[in-house]
Chain A
């Protein structure tokens, strides 16, 4: 069965410092991986996805993610954090099982807090 894990419930970063939000996955076959962000009282917003190709994926708002097949990881990164990046971040993988359509399996989420 496909799954994703986000090992950190919370990540604290000072503004201007680089940030990393970790995600590991478990899939059979090639993974289709996504990152979404959720601001308070809002739905999720798409940041980026990996389907195939370059292991470094660039996304919205200056975020990028590195796909590492040997470590089964898809960590989200940003070179310089902003206070406005504070939000809940979700890693997700496409479920490739039968009768699952475009189903995404989400991790538990990581709360990112960026302090001035």
Chain B
């Protein structure tokens, strides 16, 4: 079975632009979470979705938004990009999203110039 897939793998944007990152969870997994990993730091929680509803939100500005589709795939949108948004964005899926282990994708490396 395929693991968690994310697209694109790399992305370069300029300040003020917006970006959409995509994630396909493992087949059968209904929960998707998004994390931001800045170089040299641990991942920071952005959102969690379960059964297409938002179940958790991290301490990120409203420029960050996400949604989950009926097939359980997910998109993360970031508007009005700042230099500080440059990071590795990780998507993780799980069956239910509570105390289970998370399966992470390889991430999207976003560079904002």
Q: Residues of B contacting A104 with CB < 8 Å?
A: 43, 45, 102
- Whether B55 sits at the interface, judged by CB under 8 Å, is yes
Q: Take A90-B43, A100-B56 as given contacts and tell me if A44 and B99 are in contact as well, using a CB distance cutoff of 8 Å.
A: no
Give the interface of B toward A (CB within 8 A). Answer: 4, 31, 33, 40-45, 48, 50, 55-58, 90, 92, 94, 96-107
Question: Can you spell out 6 A-B residue pairs with CB atoms less than 8 angstroms apart?
Answer: A43-B92, A43-B106, A44-B102, A94-B99, A102-B50, A107-B42
How many of A's residues come within 8 Å of B, CB to CB?
26
Q: Residues of A contacting B97 with CB < 8 Å?
A: 101-102
New A-B contacts (13) at CB < 8 Å, excluding given A101-B55, A108-B41:
A36-B102, A42-B107, A43-B4, A43-B90, A43-B104, A46-B102, A101-B97, A102-B33, A102-B55, A102-B102, A103-B48, A103-B56, A109-B41
A-B pairs with the 5 shortest C-beta distances? A101-B56, A106-B42, A43-B104, A101-B55, A101-B48
Give the interface of A toward B (CB within 8 A). Answer: 32, 34, 36, 41-46, 49, 51, 90, 92, 94-95, 99-109
